[in-house]
Amino acid sequence: MASSVKPPATAPSPASPAAPSAAARKTGASRERRSTHEGFLTHRRMFWAKLSGALALGLTALYIFVPLPGTHFGSSWLGYALGTIGALLILWLTMLGVRKRAITPGRWSLKGWTSAHVYLGLCVTVIGTLHSGFHFGWNVHTLAWALMLIVVASGVFGIWVYATLPRALSANRYDAEGAITERQMVEALRSIDRQIHEAAQPLDPQAAALVGQSLEQNPFGGSLWNRMTGRYPDCATHRAMMDLRALRAARQRTKDDLLGRIDALLARKDAMLDRLRQHLKLKAWLQGWLYVHVPVTFALIAALCAHVVSVFFYW
Amino acid sequence: MSFIVRQIALKSSGEEIVRSASYNIRELTVGRDTACAVHLPDLAVNPVHARIALAQNGRLVITAATEQPFTADGRSTLRAEIDPAVGGELALGGHRIAISLADDGKTPVLAVRRVEALSDSAEDRDLADAYSLRGLLPGKRISAWGFALLVLFAFLALPIYSYATYKPLAMKADARRPQGFHADQTWSSGPLSLSHKALGQNCQSCHTQAFVAVTDNACLTCHGKDAHDHVADKARLMQARGEPSGMAAVQRAVAGAFNRPTGRCVDCHTEHEGAGAMPATRQQFCADCHDGMKARLPDTKIADAADFGTAHPQFRPALVAGVERGKPVLRRTAWSKNLQEDNGLKFTHGQHLSKTNGIAQMVRRMPGRFAGADSLQCADCHRPDSAGVRFQPVKMEQACQSCHALGFERIGGTVRTLRHGEPELVVADLRAFYRDTAPVRPANLSGMARRVPGDAALAASAADYARAVRFHPASAGQAIDRAFSKGGMCHDCHVVTRGGTAATGGYLIQPVAQNERYFRKGWFDHKAHRKTDCTYCHASAATSMKASDVLVPGIDGKGGCRTCHVGGEGARLAGIAVKDPVESSCAMCHSYHMDDDAPWLPKGKRPKQDTNAPAGANLAIAGHPRLTMKLH
């Protein structure tokens, strides 16, 4: 997946993994570049999508047409078969966490593996639901089913952010002067901070305290909510800027417009902070779904164990 | 020389740069202002923040220039005294000023050093961390472990604990766990059926042992009385079912491998499949064995059956074959159209139900006495039993006596009758009648009625009467003979033979055995058929001229069950046309756990109680909405 998380730093127009064929895109830099990139979604002409679709259709047909004694349920031979397939599939899907740490090319490349992970992961919802025979209740069995749905839903969300957000991420990093890296963002902030500090030396204590707050605030600070929404109502830089403007308006203009210079610096810092925070927000969404996907997967495996043990325990 | 101020800066390599300056004044200013002797380029410091004065005793007195305090030796204060010989530290904003004594032992030295970064952004941080969600969310690894352990604890450890706690309650019919939640209920795959609802909190009632499939013994803990064995010999049951083949054999093998034996109660009585009533046993469960069973069990007396509509043997009603020690002997015989059964009575259904003969005429003359207006109806004699399922035996006193009266003497307005059912009493009553009464006295023997002159006629009459009186009791014998012989009141309905004792005048009445239930292996409920006219099924009743005609219908033919009932899945034989087919699976008439009662039916399928009419009332004459009502 890593290959599609970050667009190549040299590519001014990162191709979306969802639509690599429509590669020629214009951005701020007026260069055009054709991408030969093939994302995990379209890997091998969607071989895994077709396979999973066929599997889901086949099993649904079995569910509908195979005569079973009694009602459709996990305890019919078809139910046990579906359950076994589903459980093994879930364990295999989890193995992507191990597999992704070794990037290899070829038919069983990491990309191919990811493609299979995505489509078989979607298929497992069908298998699990058929296994349940649509009998749901407040029990460990339905818990496992619900956790499975949460995992798959978070995975689907992950695919969606991978397909859409990287473009916004690079657009945010590009401006008329070209791209800016994460390190450069911090360096730019440090530079502005130094300049603000230097310029603010002659200030009276009241104004100096305002500027000092801006310098002392952690640019990476804020709560999870601030990070996900990109809204920072407690931004000290912004507040300092506004308060200094009020001060400046109240004071008599002098030839040396110290407050004016500081205001300009603070405005620059504010703009850079906006950009950094937009970057942080996009990265948070790109990473955040994994904080659901991975832990809930392990909860699912635990529920699956309890489900299987309980069935044999009260056999 | 009063003060030495050393400004210490750090190179990016970590090396210190020290710039020293000496001030020969008594008081130093400390502040952001460049004019200050101790210049601190720090926005948290006031332009002139504090003053440091050298006191007479060699101590330094530090006072804040404004209301803004500074920190001396870790304490925020507006004034402090520090002995340079002892040393001390001042903190203003991000700067520290260490106070000591110079090597000469007199001059105080102020070493100024910036200890805090100029801004927060300037501080060192791991960028990979800073740009990630680390610190804002619990780590993936810790929450994965946390969730997994939580789930295992709540849904595995706790249920096992509650299983272990209540295990001793297993196999005890009345043992219940305390009300409330028990953790192993989270293992329940679905609600229990209506009849087992009370066991919902008591997993151990059925799941008696861990990793052992539910045993029949667990069921029999409560169902000791109502679960009759289908066949006592289990081996025979297995033989009847035969060995599975193909997919079924694979399933059997897998089930065996997972310690799930077949042939248990729960094979048919599945549970945890919804809160409704338990589903009715499906026809397939019966047909598995009974279809082609003759081939697997050659010595069985039971004919093969697979579906009522297409593969069911002819009925074998149990017929009365005689009476032994006062009880009828029953013998099952295959039904045929002209089946005969001797119940000891003489009776003609045809004559009694006729609409044209004298019987019908008598009914017409007594409106209101009988169920019908123009002829006798079935209900005039046949009364349903309390459940409405079958009929009470026909009782002479209720059904016959209004016409076939046993009266023999009228005293005043009261008619004396002979006792029915007790021929000894009949004989005794008749004898007593003739003993205690005299012949009618001739008119000329009494009173002053006109008579033939002279005594001769009178004497003859008197002699005749005396002889008649003398011999009157002896005429009892003739009366008894008349009653028991052809044309007599007993002989009308009963089979009378000579062979009785003296108490019955030598006559013997053949015992009557009315058959209460013809179909003893299947269940037939008249109440379920009350909307159907009797003769729709008992088709030959109106024409039967022999009491021995068996009028119960067979499986097919006129009035046969297949006239309406088709197989469980609607199958029927090619030659039979059914207007309103009733799908009839095995369980409609048969029960796996056989007893004398109705086969078990799930609650929703039981016939609804008619609240308007008492059970069984007017059963035989009730109207029918679908079938044409035939009146006889």
Write out pLDDT tens, residues A225-260.
999 999 999 999 999 999 999 988 888 777 778 888
A306 neighbourhood in chain B, CB within 8 Å: 151-152, 155-156, 159
> Do A314 and B186 count as a contact with CB atoms less than 8 A apart?
no
Statement: residue B632 has pLDDT above 50: no
B429 pLDDT band, cuts 50/70/90, is: confident
Q: Within an 8 Å CB–CB cutoff, is residue A114 touching chain B?
A: no
Task: Say if CB B230 and CB B288 are below 8 A apart.
Answer: no
> Do B121 and A186 count as a contact with CB atoms less than 8 A apart?
yes
Round to whole Å and give the CA distance between A7 and A199: 38
Round to whole Å and give the CA distance between A255 and A29: 41
B66 neighbourhood in chain A, CB within 8 Å: 205
Q: Nearest-CA neighbor of B437 among B462, B471, B407, B463?
A: B471
Higher-confidence residue of B607 and B17: namely B17
> Alpha helices of B382-474 — where are they, by DSSP H?
423-436, 456-471
Q: Determine the 3-state secondary structure of A220 from DSSP.
A: coil
pLDDT given for residue B616 in this prediction: 36
Q: Within an 8 Å CB–CB cutoff, is residue B249 touching chain A?
A: no
User: If you average pLDDT over each of A158-162, B178-182, B274-278, B408-412, which comes out highest?
Assistant: A158-162
* Mean local confidence (pLDDT), B145-158: 96
pLDDT given for residue B559 in this prediction: 87
- Tokens 């193909």 sit at which residue? B246
Round to whole Å and give the CA distance between B550 and B536: 15
Residues 174-203 of A with CB under 8 A from B: 182-183, 186, 189-190, 193-194, 196-198, 200-201, 203
* Mean local confidence (pLDDT), B88-100: 91
A283 neighbourhood in chain B, CB within 8 Å: 131-132
One-letter amino acid of B28 = L
* Backbone φ, ψ for residue A156 (5° rounding): -65, -40
A137 neighbourhood in chain B, CB within 8 Å: 188-191
Q: What would the pLDDT profile of B550-573 be if each residue is shown by its tens digit?
A: 999 999 888 889 988 998 888 888
Statement: residue B414 has pLDDT above 60: yes
Among chain A residues, the shortest Cα distance to B137 is held by A224
Q: Within an 8 Å CB–CB cutoff, is residue A272 touching chain B?
A: no
Statement: residue B236 has pLDDT above 70: yes
Residue B311 gets which letter from DSSP?
B
**Shortest CB distance from B120 goes to which of A75, A217, A223?**
A217
Q: What would the pLDDT profile of B509-554 be if each residue is shown by its tens digit?
A: 888 888 888 988 888 889 889 888 898 999 889 889 888 899 999 9
pLDDT given for residue B594 in this prediction: 72
pLDDT given for residue B600 in this prediction: 64
ipTM of model: 0.83
B610 pLDDT band, cuts 50/70/90, is: very low
> Do A302 and B149 count as a contact with CB atoms less than 8 A apart?
yes
> Do B43 and A217 count as a contact with CB atoms less than 8 A apart?
no
**Nearest-5° Cα angle at B226, B223 to B231:** 100
Q: Nearest-CA neighbor of B187 among A305, A136, A314, A133?
A: A314
Q: How many Cβ pairs closer than 8 A exist between chain A and B?
A: 186
**Shortest CB distance from A219 goes to which of B66, B121, B282?**
B121
What single string gives the DSSP state of each residue in B55-80?
-TTS-EEEEESSS--EEETTEEESEE
The two three-digit tokens of residue B505, written as one number: 């005048």
Q: Nearest-CA neighbor of B311 among B523, B566, B521?
A: B566
Q: Within an 8 Å CB–CB cutoff, is residue A84 touching chain B?
A: no
Among chain B residues, the shortest Cα distance to A217 is held by B120
Q: How far is B258 from chain A (nearest CA, A)?
A: 9
Q: Within an 8 Å CB–CB cutoff, is residue B211 touching chain A?
A: yes
pLDDT given for residue B391 in this prediction: 92
pLDDT given for residue A188 in this prediction: 92
Q: Within an 8 Å CB–CB cutoff, is residue A128 touching chain B?
A: no
Q: Nearest-CA neighbor of B310 among B538, B55, B583?
A: B583
The two three-digit tokens of residue B1, written as one number: 């020389």
A262 neighbourhood in chain B, CB within 8 Å: none
Residues 282-301 of B with CB under 8 A from A: 282, 284
Q: Nearest-CA neighbor of A116 among A91, A98, A92?
A: A92
What single string gives the DSSP state of each residue in B192-223?
PPGGGGGGTT-GGGT--STTSPPPHHHHHTTT
* Backbone φ, ψ for residue A265 (5° rounding): -65, -45
Contacts of B284 (CB under 8 A, 6+ apart): A69
Q: Determine the 3-state secondary structure of B435 from DSSP.
A: helix
> Alpha helices of B243-325 — where are they, by DSSP H?
247-257, 265-268, 283-290, 293-296
Higher-confidence residue of B238 and A263: namely A263
Task: Say if CB B97 and CB B38 are below 8 A apart.
Answer: yes
pLDDT given for residue A196 in this prediction: 92
**Shortest CB distance from A197 goes to which of B43, B140, B279?**
B43
> Do B120 and A284 count as a contact with CB atoms less than 8 A apart?
no
Q: How far is B237 from chain A (nearest CA, A)?
A: 20
pLDDT given for residue B174 in this prediction: 84
Q: How far is A17 from chain B (nearest CA, A)?
A: 22
Give the full edge-to-edge strand order of the sheet including B75-77: B16-23, B3-10, B108-114, B95-101, B88-92, B70-72, B75-77
Per-residue pLDDT of chain A (315 residues; tens, 9 = 90+): 333 434 333 334 433 444 444 444 444 445 555 666 777 888 878 888 999 999 999 999 988 888 776 666 677 888 889 999 999 999 999 988 888 877 776 667 888 888 999 999 999 999 999 999 888 989 999 999 999 999 999 999 999 999 899 999 988 888 878 888 889 999 999 999 999 998 988 888 888 999 999 998 999 988 999 999 999 999 999 999 999 999 888 887 777 788 888 999 999 999 999 999 999 999 999 999 999 999 999 999 999 999 999 999 998
Instruction: Enumerate the domain spans of chain A.
Output: 42-173+290-313, 180-288
Residue B193 gets which letter from DSSP?
P
One-letter amino acid of B463 = A
Q: How far is A238 from chain B (nearest CA, A)?
A: 16
Q: What would the pLDDT profile of B311-354 be if each residue is shown by its tens digit?
A: 899 999 999 888 888 788 889 999 998 889 988 888 889 999 99
> Do B259 and A305 count as a contact with CB atoms less than 8 A apart?
no
Residue B202 gets which letter from DSSP?
-
- Tokens 């597999």 sit at which residue? A99
Residue B340 gets which letter from DSSP?
B
> Do B155 and A77 count as a contact with CB atoms less than 8 A apart?
no
pLDDT given for residue B150 in this prediction: 96
pLDDT given for residue B51 in this prediction: 93
Among chain A residues, the shortest Cα distance to B41 is held by A201
For chain B, domains (ranges, CATH) are 3-120 (2.60.200.20), 150-279 (no CATH), 395-509 (no CATH)
pLDDT given for residue A281 in this prediction: 94
Residue of B120, B199, B266 to mutate, testing the A interface (most A Cβ within 10 Å of its Cβ) = B120
> Do A283 and B131 count as a contact with CB atoms less than 8 A apart?
yes
- Tokens 């006031």 sit at which residue? B46
> Do A215 and B120 count as a contact with CB atoms less than 8 A apart?
yes
A74 neighbourhood in chain B, CB within 8 Å: 189
Q: Nearest-CA neighbor of B99 among B107, B115, B87?
A: B87
Q: Within an 8 Å CB–CB cutoff, is residue B76 touching chain A?
A: no
Q: What would the pLDDT profile of B462-487 be if each residue is shown by its tens digit?
A: 888 888 877 777 778 888 888 888 88
Q: How far is B595 from chain A (nearest CA, A)?
A: 25
Q: How far is A153 from chain B (nearest CA, A)?
A: 17
pLDDT given for residue B613 in this prediction: 39
| pLDDT > 90 fraction of chain B, expressed in percent and rounded | 19
**Shortest CB distance from B148 goes to which of A200, A208, A302?**
A302
Distances (CA, A) of B213 to B30, B217, B218, B256, B263: 87, 11, 10, 11, 12
Q: Within an 8 Å CB–CB cutoff, is residue B125 touching chain A?
A: yes
pLDDT given for residue B606 in this prediction: 59
Among chain A residues, the shortest Cα distance to B266 is held by A315
